[in-house]
Structure 1
Amino acid sequence: MNFLASLLLSAMLSVPSFWGTNMEQAQQQAKQESKLILLNFSGSDWCGPCMKLRRDVFDSDEFLAYAKDKLVLVNADFPRQKKNRLDAEQVKRNEALAEKYNTKGTFPYTLLLDANGRVLKTWEGNSGLTPSQFIDELKQR
């Protein structure tokens, strides 16, 4: 393995992903840990506002520190490029989530849910909020 590939791999392994992809598991975890669920619908390889929201808010240290203690994060991704295709089971789970929570097909679309899946708050598109503003809105639910 060349140096650049090994450096990239070690960087990827050292950054934990707080985002899950399975709503059933997220609900179980939310119930066990008394947390809320943040469900985000994204098009990771085609939706510019989705990428900006992820980069500016969801990947920020401030948001991740808050989320670690208060939220279970679920991402329902709908990539278009062949190289980013999800496995068939994940596609089915994401489509089921879209049928239930995102019938308009809005991207990005973010929902705050209780552990039973009841919608508490929604954000349509990229709101342009800073991480601290987004956290404040989460707290106000």
Structure 2
Amino acid sequence: MKTLFSAIVMVVFAVGIHAQSRLENAKKQASQNKELILLNFSGSDWCIPCIKLHKNIIETDEFKKLETENVVVYINADFPRNKKNQLSPELKKENATLADQYNQKGLFPYTLLLNAEGKVLKSWEGLPSEDALAFSKEIKSIKENQK
């Protein structure tokens, strides 16, 4: 009986640790490093504006500097449709939870700039009209105004 109880406790503990989401980790990192959180909802294999956003902004050196210079912590909540691109069940569940909290309308792409507590500072519905440089400058400006 002790073995069964121990096994159950270990499983519950393991699930509890895993349930700590990327957002919770991002909040901790953002708080420690005085960063913002950029949360992007995308359909990486079906949403053309999402694909353009990633190619023209997220994957650029200009945007990557925001991460390396401790300006933002980036989270991509992806909702692929193709079978070959499916996410793990845990990641699907986590993305669904993020969508329930921050993207109830189901917009794609939908990008949010959050503070370390998870409060929305700015949102972009659809593909941002800015290029990577202007997008990055806007985020830096918002961060500077948070001080």
TM value normalised by structure 2:
0.78
Aligned-partner SS, 1:40: strand
Q: Any residues of structure 2 matched to 1:63-78 within 5 Å, and which?
A: 63-69=63-69, 70-78=71-79
Whole-angstrom distance in 2 between the partners of 1:68 and 1:37: 13
User: What does residue 87 of structure 1 align with?
Assistant: 88
Whole-angstrom distance in 1 between the partners of 2:66 and 2:119: 21
Aligned-partner SS, 1:92: helix
C-alpha RMSD of the superposition: 1.2
Whole-angstrom distance in 2 between the partners of 1:28 and 1:67: 15
Q: Which runs of 5+ in 2 are unaligned?
A: 1-20, 143-147
User: What does residue 46 of structure 1 align with?
Assistant: 46
Give a deviation string over 1:34-56, Cα, whole Å, max 9, x none: 11000000000101100101000
CA shift for structure 1 position 140: 3.4
User: What does residue 129 of structure 1 align with?
Assistant: 130
Whole-angstrom distance in 2 between the partners of 1:137 and 1:101: 21
Identity of aligned residues (%): 51
Whole-angstrom distance in 2 between the partners of 1:68 and 1:100: 27
Q: Which of the pair has more CA radius of gyration? A: 2
CA shift for structure 1 position 139: 2.8
| Range that drifts further, 98-107 or 25-34 | 25-34
User: What does residue 34 of structure 2 align with?
Assistant: 34
Whole-angstrom distance in 1 between the partners of 2:66 and 2:98: 24
Q: Any residues of structure 2 matched to 1:102-117 within 5 Å, and which?
A: 102-117=103-118
Whole-angstrom distance in 1 between the partners of 2:99 and 2:38: 14
Whole-angstrom distance in 2 between the partners of 1:52 and 1:139: 22
TM value normalised by structure 1:
0.82
Whole-angstrom distance in 2 between the partners of 1:87 and 1:59: 23
User: What does residue 99 of structure 2 align with?
Assistant: 98
Deviation >6 Å, runs of 4+: none
Aligned-partner SS, 1:38: strand
Whole-angstrom distance in 2 between the partners of 1:43 and 1:61: 22
User: What does residue 5 of structure 2 align with?
Assistant: none
Q: Which runs of 5+ in 1 are unaligned?
A: 1-20
Whole-angstrom distance in 2 between the partners of 1:50 and 1:128: 13
User: What does residue 17 of structure 2 align with?
Assistant: none
Counterpart residue type for residue 108 of structure 2: F
